[in-house]
A = this chain, B = another copy of it.
Amino acid sequence: MNRLVLQAQILELTAIRYTPAGLPALDLVLKHESQVDEAGAHRKVALEIKAVAIGDVVRRVQALGLAGCSVFTGFLSAQKQGRGTVFHITGLES
């Protein structure tokens, strides 16, 4: 089980590239801000996270455009270089 659901805004968005398998791919940076409950207290949460969309979902992400907002669903993986995490977007909730 590895599932992230994140309401976020597109902060950066590259042009479409193609994977070695010939699939379209988009590289993004997403920005999230919200309030969450933790240990019985409200707290503000903000983060920026690198994201990638591959395949059919690319068209829907591209249609949102820069500064576009959505609820993105997908999974986390490690960055190829470095110790950070990348959010792989596999769907959008409307």
Minimum distance in angstroms from A3 CB to a CB of chain B: 5
Minimum distance in angstroms from A39 CB to a CB of chain B: 3
Main secondary structure of the interface of A (DSSP, over half): strand
Residues of B within 8 A of A57 (CB): 39
Minimum distance in angstroms from A27 CB to a CB of chain B: 14
Q: Is A63 at the interface (CB under 8 A from chain B)?
A: no
B2–A77 CB distance below 8 A:
no
Q: Is A21 at the interface (CB under 8 A from chain B)?
A: yes
Q: Is A36 at the interface (CB under 8 A from chain B)?
A: yes
A residues touching B (Cβ–Cβ < 8 Å)? 1-7, 21, 23, 32, 34, 36-41, 45-49, 54-57, 71, 75-78, 83-85, 88, 90
